[in-house]
Amino acid sequence: MTYIPHSLKERDAMLAAVGVKSLEDLFKDVPAEHRFPKLNLPPALTEMEAAAELGELSIGNENIRTDLVSFLGAGAYNHYIPAAVDALLRRGEFYTAYTPYQPEISQGTLQAIFEYQSLISALTGMEVSNASHYDGATAVAEAANLAYAQFRGKRTKVVLSPAVNPQYRATLRTYVQGMSLELAGDDAKANLDAGPEVLEGLIDETTALVIVQYPDFFGRIYDYTKLIEAAHAKGALVCAAANPTALGLLKTPGEMGADIVVGEGQPLGIPLSYGGPYLGFFATRKQYLHKMAGRLVGETVDSRGQRAYVLTLTAREQHIKRERATSNICTNQGLMALASAIYLSLLGKSGFRQVAELCYHKAHYAAGKIAKVKGYSLCFEAPFFHEFSVCCPKPVEEINDHLLEHGFLGGYDLGQDYPSLKDHLLVAVTEMNTKDEIDAMVDVLAEVAHD
Amino acid sequence: MNIPAAYKYTKTDEWFDPTSGKVGLTDYAQSQLSDIVFVEVVVSAGETVQAGKQIASVESVKAAAESYAPVTGKVVEVNDNLAGNPEILNGDPYGKGWMAKFEGADASGLMDAAAYSKYCEERAH
Amino acid sequence: MTENTIYELSSPGRTGVTFPKPDVPEAKLPADLLRKDLPLPELAEVDVVRHFTNLSKYNYSVDGGFYPLGSCTMKYNPKINEETARLPGFVFTHPLQPIETVQGNLALMYQLQEWLKEISGFAAVTLQPAAGAHGELTGVLIMRAYHRLRGDARRVKMLIPDSAHGTNPASSAMSSLEVVQIPSDARGNVDLAALKAACDETVVGLMLTNPNTLGLFDEHVEQVIAAVHACGGLVYGDGANLNALLGIVRPGDLGFDLMHFNLHKTFSTPHGGGGPGSGPVGVSQKLANFLPSPLVGIVEEADGEQPALFGFVEPEHSIGRVKAFNGHFGMFVRAYTYIAMHGADGLRQIAEYAVLNANYVRARLDGAYTVPFDRTCMHEFVAEGQWAEAPGVRALDVAKRLMDYDFHPPTNYFPLIVHEALMIEPTETENKATLDAFADALLKIAEEARTQPELLKEAPHNTPFGRMDEVKAARELVLCCWLPNE
């Protein structure tokens, strides 16, 4: 099955107009010995057959809607997505449009991004947001790019909290391998029990950027105001990678003085979908606007005097600035940014706060119950939001296997990234988890401890 | 095209005023760039700069360019007023649009106004 | 005509969704860590649905009409893709689930890797990069890592033709490489003599788009690749234009060392108003060990009754991870669906008809528009939007006037080596009647340019919005709605 509409008669008329005899004749520039390879692919399917084959593959998974109850987070969270989000995303006018380079016929996308920027600014407490990055990890890497460009390469150190998501830190390391930036602070010896103040000693006049996570990877909430003051005293910028759901309840990094706030936007109405596509949000202060990568939508008027929106400050970007651009980024996560704008608009001021509170209360209920089970304890004393670290009496793998047998997707094994956190389980609880589910999961934990 | 007779010029469209020591972007360059929306002077007072080194980044609605030092010398002052008012580069490129002021700079090797005028005309075709 | 913003539509006390009351005791909130205010809008569901529905009507889209945007491959996006990508078994899986519980996902990813290898002629493929530019960055880091592991740290230059996409030099610069521009020759190929002169022991490699952004297949592509290999460099293929090559030639067979795919161009995943894309990277055998980790592989071979177990493997000299989790999985499902439905013959037809359509439009415009490198093109071609007889008219005016005829304009002012460029890529999914109507409109516009130039200068006339004041946008920088209670 193809989507090629030509009849044979039309094809022949077109070949004649071009002045060739056959389709093959169009490819004479291609080296003859490599032309028309025989591809070893399975025979073409009809739509009906493809639907069946994909359906078959999809049930080869155990999913967290019908098969498993999830307590897994670690950077991707199971939240309720109101039906209206996908109903609107499925409008072909949105999902089959391209980047809004022609503003006269792209006002839908442009205004939606403008509203997305506004909602992200509101959530993070920052002055400006761009039109988005690929995901939370690459948004962190782009923060390093911004800082590197801001200091024109003269500051070469990035102080990185060990409590930033290990995958974000790995991504950052990949990005900077060709740049003269050194990363400090997240080596194996790092003290994971300590608060953010331990990072202060690492900040000096060569520091371009300090990166923290809020709440951090272990779920802890810290007020970074003092750390940010210390960084500013040395002239360094500070980036906080924030969980957007937590920002429904908690003090914003903007309020603490952060210069850049980024994060994974997946919790804002985007399905888990095995890791993507997600959304990297990126917000900063106006003074760093020109060094910020990515697309940006601004308000203006059209020739008829109507309020309208355009991509603005485009000369910062790679298609004009080429090798002198801050980043090579070209696309944004347009449709995902739209999803989050719809989600935040639907939930609004009260609904979004309600989700944040539900996550908070349910996580604290779960933590309280787990801490009462013999052999288990909460690893850290700091306040937490919807995720917390549990010290377990047995290897996490064993506990998770047991949970899985009982239909629970257990938490994240922190030992795989932090050797000093062997037998530490990171548990996430959201509004999707009922009290009964939590109670049943805790019962299984108790059972494993006694085995 | 405005090309002050007393100034000296580069092939990369910067001007140098031997009297004041100021440097900037020529009228030809600003008109090619069109509406300038961002200027960042990347040298600071006290720095000694070699001719040909980048001194500023300029972005317009449609294009981006870099400005290079027309002369070698010590920068004694930079125009802090530009960052907040980039449109000055369009309106008054030889006056309020100066970028940096050099001390002890030598203008030899630069084009005079007549040569630069000819150079601009050649590029227009 | 304008639609109020979501904040202007807001009215205190409304909400679009409510959630159940907590079924657990309420915990004490950390008073000193709470935000003072949450300046989000307040709307009912119907307000939100109408608002975004109204906005959608201001968009031009592939579902609504012809979108001949050069270099972007705006082909039709099959509806079945949207169904398969939303199957609950896919959508409700967490990226960190144990591999035993996501064998369906991993089998799909593994198979897609295998198919992309077969289609491109490469030895290994990573699905991780999120978009074309991200794939380029991945590729540049792989090239750099390859040379460094061989102890060859002198290599600091990336050769890039003057017709290249801006992402190529920007991706190279992100790895601190020096960009050396290579000119094109009179037939639109890489200037072989200039290339050879630039090839030395400091070259990391060449980033080559083939067919190039003029829509031309390089007539000396094998010599170009050989020249770079002769100096020890690697050749990167920008896969933006792969639609022209499906089943026609495999870049790996031509000698390319690595290349990114754009699933959102070639393999029909929707562009989404600017993303998400998906930019897998294919590499030759000698670069396979440098791919980002992890890749999907078989971790336990099938035996007797047990099927093979899919899981993650880490290449020995991996450059590391380029993003979190497992790539844009939702795009993999769509691309898989598309390839499965086409098979080998269907893929070849895509390229054949994409190329036929481009050459047909080119033939129809013959005489009315100058095509600077006028030879058989591949999937796109570049015409000039300027005429000596119409001195004031520019490509931009032609583009804007096309909107009045209800077509999306071609890419304009790119590639940079053509003056007043109009880059036209029809794709294979457009029929002859649409192409004729488009060509007729362009011919009419060429005539209007001479007879009524003001009609073009002031276009568009029939769209809900006119031309924008871009200077005002950039100078005033209003980037955010007014937020309440700040």
Which tens digit of pLDDT belongs to each residue from A312-360? 998 888 887 788 887 888 878 999 999 999 999 999 999 999 999 999 9
Q: How far apart are CA A399 and CA A44, in angstroms?
A: 45
CB within 8 Å: A321 and B64: yes
Q: What is the pLDDT of residue C416?
A: 86
Say what angle helices A47-58 and C329-364 make with each other, to 10 degrees.
Answer: 160
DSSP A370-390: HHHSTT-EES--S-BSSEEEE
pLDDT, tens only, C3-19: 999 999 999 999 999 99
- Hey, of B39, B61, B67, B89, which one would you mutate to test binding to chain A, going by the most A CBs within 10 A of its CB? B61
Chain A residue set in contact with B, beta carbons under 8 Å = 152, 290, 313-316, 320-321, 324
SS3 (DSSP) at B124: helix
Does the pTM surpass 0.90? The reply is yes
CB contact B10 to A (< 8 Å)? no
pLDDT digits (tens, 9 = 90+) for C289-344: 999 999 999 999 999 889 999 999 999 999 999 999 999 999 999 999 999 999 99
pLDDT of residue C486: 43
- Name which of A302, A321, A358 is nearest C19 (Cβ-Cβ): A358
Q: Which residues of C touch B87 (CB under 8 A)?
A: 475
User: Which residues on neighbouring strands pair with residue A426, listed in sequence order?
Assistant: A389, A412
B window 43-82, beta carbon within 8 A of A = 57, 59-64, 66
Model confidence pLDDT, tens digit, residues C455-484:
999 999 999 999 999 999 999 999 999 877
User: C197: distance to nearest CA of chain A, Å?
Assistant: 22
- The span from the CA of A118 to the CA of A104, in Å, is 22
End-to-end CA distance of chain B: 15
**CB burial class (10 A; 0-12, 13-18, 19+) of residue C12?**
exposed
Alpha helices in A238-294 (DSSP H): 253-256
What b/e readout covers C302-327, taking b as 16+ CB neighbours within 10 angstroms?
eeeeeebebbeeebebbbbbbbbbbb
Quickly state the pLDDT bin for A1 (edges 50, 70, 90). Answer: confident
Q: What is the pLDDT of residues A156-192, one digit of tens each?
A: 999 999 999 999 999 999 999 988 899 999 988 888 9
Kindly indicate the confidence band of residue A449, based on its pLDDT and cuts at 50, 70 and 90. confident
Sheet architecture: strand order including A387-391? A377-378, A387-391, A424-428, A412-413
Q: How many CB atoms lie within 10 A of CB A370?
A: 21
Q: d(Cα C31, Cα C38) in Å, to the nearest integer? A: 15
- Report chain A's C-alpha Rg in angstroms: 25
Contacts of residue A320 in chain B, CB cutoff 8 Å? 62-64
Those residues whose C-beta lies under 8 Å from the C-beta of residue C471, and which sit 6 or more positions away, are B35, B37, B61
Average pLDDT for A393-398: 97
Per-residue pLDDT, A188: 81
End-to-end Cα, chain C, rounded Å: 29
The rounded distance, in Å, linking the Cα atoms of C428 and A16 is 18
pLDDT at residue A5 is higher than 90: yes
The residue-averaged pLDDT of A146-150 equals 94
pLDDT at C172: 92
Quick check: A157 and A134 in contact, CB under 8 A?
Answer: no
Give all strands (DSSP E) within A392-433, no chain letters: 408-409, 412-413, 424-428
Q: Do residues A144 and A262 lie in contact, with contact meaning Cβ atoms separated by under 8 Å?
A: no
Please give the single-letter amino acid code of residue A2.
T
- Looking at every residue in chain C, the average pLDDT score rounds to 96
CA dist., res. A176 & res. C354, Å (int): 39
For residues C125-145, average pLDDT: 97
**Inter-residue contact C435 to C364 (CB < 8 Å):** yes
Q: How far is A306 from chain C (nearest CA, A)?
A: 7
Torsional sign, CA A147, C291, C128, C272? positive
Render pLDDT for A18-49 as a digit per residue (tens, 0 to 9).
Answer: 999 999 999 999 999 999 999 999 999 999 99
Report the DSSP beta bridge partners of residue B22.
B101
> Which of A151, A314, A317 would best serve as a mutation to test chain B binding (most B beta carbons within 10 A)?
A314
Hunting for tokens 């989700």 — which residue is that?
Answer: A355
Q: Give percent of chain A above pLDDT 70.
A: 100
CB contact under 8 A, A315 and B40: no
ipTM of the complex: 0.97
CB neighbour list of residue C106: distance below 8 Å, 6 or more residues apart? C99, C296, C310, C311
Q: Measured between alpha carbons, how far apart are the two ends of chain A, in Å?
A: 56
Chain C residues whose beta carbon lies within 8 Å of the beta carbon of residue B35: 470-471, 474-475
Q: What pLDDT, in 10s, does the model give residues A211-255? A: 999 999 999 999 999 999 999 999 999 999 999 999 999 999 999
- Which chains are within 8 Å of C by 3+ CB pairs? A, B
Closest CA–CA distance from residue B65 to any residue of chain A (Å): 8
Residue A331 confidence (pLDDT): 78
Length, in residues, of chain C: 486
Containing C308, the helix (H) or strand (E) segment is none
Which partners does chain A have (≥3 C-beta pairs < 8 Å)?
B, C
Band (pLDDT 50/70/90 cuts) for residue A107 is very high
Strands C281-283 and C258-260: antiparallel
User: Span C338-356, mean pLDDT?
Assistant: 98
Burial of C437 (0-12, 13-18, 19+ CB in 10 A): middle
Q: With CB atoms and an 8 Å threshold, state whether A274 touches C90.
A: yes
Are A335 and C272 a contacting pair at CB < 8 A? Answer: yes
pLDDT at residue C485 above 60?
no
* Alpha-carbon distance A313 to nearest alpha carbon in chain B (angstroms): 7
Residue C244: pLDDT over 50? yes
Are the CB atoms for A96 and C77 separated by under 8 Å? yes
143-182 in chain A: CB under 8 A from chain C: 145, 165, 167-168, 170-171, 173-175, 177-180
Chain C nearest C-alpha distance from B56 (Å) = 19
Enter the tokens of residue C337.
């669906």
**pLDDT-derived band at B108, boundaries 50, 70, 90:** confident
Banded model confidence at residue C133, pLDDT cuts 50, 70, 90 = very high
SS3 C105: helix
Span A414-441, average pLDDT: 97
A388, A426 contact by CB (below 8 A): yes
Task: Using alpha carbons only, give the angle B74, B75, B79 rounded to the nearest 5 degrees.
Answer: 170
Task: Name which of B52-61, C102-111, C333-342, C453-462 the model is least confident about.
Answer: B52-61
Model pLDDT, residue B125: 61
Question: Hey, what amino acid is at B29?
Answer: A
